[in-house]
Structure 1
């Protein structure tokens, strides 16, 4: 599904066009606006969305998204790849707001195109390096085993193990289904900004110790006293 939207330019009177927060509105038939940037929304979820536009955004930029049944939702850009931007809502929207937004989508099927865009974003953003760790953390937080995820996605359990270890990556359509299963946006699944930096340090330390001792990383336990 693709949802058409438009991005209003920041208020020029502020003198800080780059820093000013911009507003994204879903397209309403018959409505017209001036000085706007056309936006295509791909894969909107309760926690974020993937958008495509030619605005000069950067990671960390904020936009206000105007959604039906949700009002204005503060949104942060968490990763970029060309004209693709992964966005995370400051607070999750309600299922009713999500359904209302999805009803604005194009009626023609767009799953193949959406999956292609997501796959390109993963491949070119460099964010896939953290995907395996993000997947494992989000899976455990959801209380799911690798077997549970494999059954839900109709793949083998070794496939999930391969994704989490970085030996393989899911196909684009699996990525969408995986994000839905874990109740997160695709952008959060790729780049989980909720993860604390020390998680990555601990993972790297565990792997280095495992290589030095010949043990499996899963057998290494690191304890931090504070």
Structure 2
């Protein structure tokens, strides 16, 4: 479930003069009614809490309010954070029926999600990690990042930095070009060698004299 949303600042609360009050509003059409730019993505939501990605910096145990259809304003607290990802727990669990309504919002951008069959960088990272027998947590520890960060790479939410790409390629058993492009360098080299051998045998020349040109 992926739901676009945005933060709106709530009026000053004299009971909590130092704590900012924010309300998280869903965007059923992918745009804000008020023109706010504090965009948020709700990645997962359950009856007990939710995982959000936000450029707005939240504090540990910060209280936010969510405007949810069929439920109204619902309070949640930040219980963990990792870079731009925040795990929040509802003060009062949601009714199970509310999740069905929220599912409708996620369908708005479901077509924009990368295809599972497409050979993209996120797909390659996930596939190679599994081939190496590594869990999200294990790969995160080896690359010295958080588990949600690796999860975000594999979901296409963020992209590894060049330094992380180098470390990932080494840990996943491929070179950097293969990780970034999906091209198997070893397979290409073998194919070129075979082509040289075939041409050399046909014309009776040394394979080293055969040059192969590839047009893509």
What TM-score does the superposition give when structure 1 sets the normalisation length?
Answer: 0.46
Which structure has the larger Rg? 2
Name the structure, 1 or 2, with higher relative contact order (CA <8 Å, separation 6+): 1
